[in-house]
Amino acid sequence: MPQPALLEVKNLHVHFPLSRGTVRAVDGASLTLYRGETVGLVGESGCGKSVLARAILRIVPRPGRIVEGQILYHRPVGGLSETVDLTTLDPDAPMLRFIRGLEIALIFQEPLSSLNPVYTIGQHIVEAICLHQPVSKQQAREQAIAMLKQVGMPEPARTVDRYPHQLSGGMCQRAMIAIALSCYPSLLIADEPTTALDVTTEAQILELMLNLQHELGMAILFITHNLGLIAEMAERVVVMYLGRIVEAADVQALFYHPLHPYTQALLRAIPRLGPRDRNARLYAIRGNVPEPYATLPGCPFHPRCDAMRPGICDRQEPPWVQVTTDHGVRCVLYR
């Protein structure tokens, strides 16, 4: 029996009106997360993944704003579910401040720019715990040390009193993960959570996230460029390009039967081990991501697409086609 929906993003548009034009960072994105599942969100840099994550928590930096769409959060209350449209709440509303951090947590992509340099690592975690849990500062400090130990921080009892500039990038990343997991949220949004970590620590962090997911029924929105991690972590995959969802499928269908030309190109670009021609070049998607102010007619991927149909792809807005129950694609090839 499928789990009930935890979060529904419907036709979300996030725009940044600037002097040179309007950046449509998220341009009509829709996705659904169910309780206890892991959804991978993939795409090239600049396609709107991080902005979508921040929009869910209503922390999009100015002048960015949500101009259209809904973000429906079905928060568990007792044994029931209460639906809250996060787009209707003021970013400083008490309800949103209660949800943010306690029920929905975000692991930021760049820890050194996200941590406050005048506060110790322990003060960051203690503040998050005391804000949402009825515990004393001493109890919160003990929980902070325990969480730092869980995420593999060396000497957690000493590290808890250190400042961000005294730690390496990987240690700051682990501190960010500890802050996000300190209140055991219902939904964890992990934005490139293991970028600065070595492979051993990366494996420990991923195992920790999966263990907490099984214990708490926590859902995870896993944002990454590493398709290998997606294959290991995710149950469903959502592919994003220029602010739009271009394909969504379960992980096996996406890896073995990708439909959108962009998804196929991403998979071909993965380096592979094994014998190959020493003079062969690694595959790269031709062209570049258009500049943020560009508004392309038709499919936004058509200038780089090997399957582009002149007169159709460069003129018509591609429809969303539900090929199977669990596999959808936004492309005229499947209309």
Lowest mean pLDDT among 68-72, 84-88, 142-146, 273-277: 273-277
Print burial letters for 298-324: b (CB count within 10 Å at least 16), e (below 16).
Answer: bbbbbbbbeebeeeebeeeebebeeee
Terminus-to-terminus CA distance in the chain, angstroms?
31
CA–CA distance, 327 with 90 (Å, rounded to integer): 35
Radius of gyration of the chain (CA): 21
241-295 residue pLDDT tens: 999 999 999 999 999 999 999 999 999 988 877 766 667 778 888 888 888 787 8
pLDDT average, residue stretch 108-119: 85
pLDDT at 335: 78
Q: What is the mean pLDDT of residues 76-80?
A: 75
Share of the chain above pLDDT 90, in %: 55
- The CA-based angle 232-181-196, given to 5 degrees, is 55
For residue 170, the model assigns a pLDDT of 80
Q: Is the pLDDT of residue 110 over 90?
A: no
Query: Is the four-CA dihedral 272, 47, 262, 203 of positive or negative sign?
Result: positive
pLDDT of residue 157: 93
Distance (Å, whole) CA 173 – CA 204? 13
Which residue's entry shows tokens 């306690």? 102
State yes or no: pLDDT of 162 exceeds 90.
yes
Which of residues 273 and 58 earns the better pLDDT score? 58
* pLDDT score, position 2: 59
Supply the angle between the helices 137-150 and 169-181 in degrees, to the nearest 10. 120
What integer pLDDT is reported at residue 1 of this predicted model? Answer: 38
Do 54 and 65 meet the contact criterion of CB atoms below 8 Å apart?
no
Instruction: Return the percentage of the chain with pLDDT > 70, whole number.
Output: 98
Query: How many Cα atoms within 13 Å fall on the side-chain side of residue 50?
Result: 14
| Residue 257 pLDDT | 94
Classify the C-alpha dihedral 265-267-273-274 as positive or negative.
Answer: negative
Residue 9 and residue 66 in contact, taking contact as beta carbons nearer than 8 Å: no
Averaged pLDDT, 126-138 = 91
More confident residue, 2 or 122: 122
Rounded average pLDDT over 2-21: 90
Which of 176, 170, 171, 213 shows the shortest CA–CA distance to 195? 170
pTM (2 decimals)? 0.91
pLDDT in tens, 196-234: 677 887 887 888 888 878 887 889 999 998 888 898 889
pLDDT at 32 over 60: yes
Residue range 286-331, pLDDT digits in tens: 888 888 787 888 999 999 998 899 999 999 899 999 999 999 999 9
Which pLDDT belongs to residue 277? 66
Residue 179, phi then psi, degrees to nearest 5: -60, -45
CA distances 299 to 23, 44, 47, 303, Å, are 17, 16, 14, 9
Tell me which of 78 and 43 has the higher pLDDT: 43
Is 47 strand, coil or helix?
A: coil
Fold of 1-36+43-93+226-271+281-323+331-335: Rossmann fold (3.40.50)
Assess contact for 106 and 144: CB atoms under 8 A. no
